[in-house]
Amino acid sequence: MQKDNFHAIVDGVRLACQHLVPDHSRLCAGAEDQADAPTIILLHEALGTIRMWRDFPQRLANATGLSCLVYERRGHGTSDPQTVVPRPIDFHNEETDRFLHGLISSLKLKNPILFGHSDGATIALKYAARFPTVPRAVISLAAHVFVEDVTIDGIEMAARTYASTDWKSRLERHHFDQTNTVFRAWVDTWRQPAFRDWQMIDELPAITCPALILQGDDDQFGSDEQVTTIAHHVSGPVTSHIIPSCGHIPHLESPAAVLESVRHFLDTYC
């Protein structure tokens, strides 16, 4: 496994990146050589970093035979700091239009496969809707396309845990002096009264690439209705699975089930 850590400059902002190349690569349909093979881009959750994916990117690269690019959004890990807290209601739009599209363009990635978790999955879906000709496929783990009471309840519980336990000190291992800002950027944004009306359901029909939608059956931040809604509204081929005995982080709680679903999906559409 070849691993390369670097910072990409996107519209003047430094984003931490990690590129992984498996020992045994695969060619997808239509690719003449490995240079044409798609790269899987991993988009982390609201409090995520590269390191918080643990060994999953390596396992994903080896399981699929495809290179993986993991990056940290602004305000996370060793990327440049976040400047606006709470974030605007439409913050996903900046993440797709400015940063994700800018990263794909600057690195000259061809037909990327987007793999997102939680907020990262929402961003992946939004990107596939706003730039439908760019991604080869989108893989969503525990996305939100509308706001539910269970989501707000989960965030309120997280806020209490952050205030009463050592969670902040554990997050500081990943976010350093940005820890409190990244936590507030998550919690305070979702707590805004106006955010209760946020949704991206109307954008889903613009998604025409193949989509794999996964969620745990015991997700404390969202119901199965998220999966049903996404699968019903996207226009392209869609595969959805509810993973049994699994919470909000399927790639760490049930990695074998996730990898098997991804392998089967890519064998069908890549």
Average pLDDT of the segment spanning 179-188: 96
38-86 pLDDT tens trace: 999 999 999 999 999 999 999 999 999 999 999 999 999 999 999 888 9
Can you give the pLDDT at residue 35?
66
Which of the four pLDDT bands, split at 50, 70 and 90, describes residue 93? very high
At 223, which amino acid appears? S
For tokens 């239009």, the residue is 97
Rounded Cα gap, residues 45 and 171, in angstroms: 13
Report whether pLDDT(175) > 80. yes
pLDDT at 26 over 70: yes
To the nearest 10 degrees (0 to 180), the angle between helices 149-164 and 167-175 is 90
What is the average per-residue pLDDT within 5-28? Answer: 93
Q: Which residues contact 44 (CB under 8 A, 6 or more apart)?
A: 50, 52, 53, 70, 72, 73, 76, 117, 119, 120
Residues pairing with 216 in the sheet: 243
How far is it, in rounded angstroms, from Cα 215 to Cα 249?
8
Question: Side chain identity at 166, as an amino acid letter?
Answer: D
Q: What pLDDT does residue 189 have?
A: 96
pLDDT given for residue 23 in this prediction? 87
Structure tokens at 189: 């944004």
| pLDDT value of residue 55 | 98
Model pLDDT for residues 112-141, shown as the tens digit of each residue:
999 999 999 999 999 999 999 999 999 999
Give the chain's domains with CATH numbers: 2-269 (3.40.50.1820)
| Amino acid occupying residue 23 | D
- Work out whether strand 68-71 and strand 40-43 pair parallel, antiparallel, or are unpaired: parallel
Using a pLDDT cut of 70, give the percent of the chain over it. 97
The pLDDT score that the predictor gives to residue 89 is 95
In terms of residues, how long is the chain?
A: 270
Q: Measure CA 236 to chain center.
A: 19
Other Cβ atoms within 10 Å of 239 Cβ, number: 16
Residue found under tokens 């590129």:
19
pLDDT at 31 over 70: no
CB under 8 Å to 158, separation ≥6 — which residues? 187
- For residue 269, what are its two tokens? 């559409």
Nearest to 122 by CA among 137, 109, 139, 135: 139
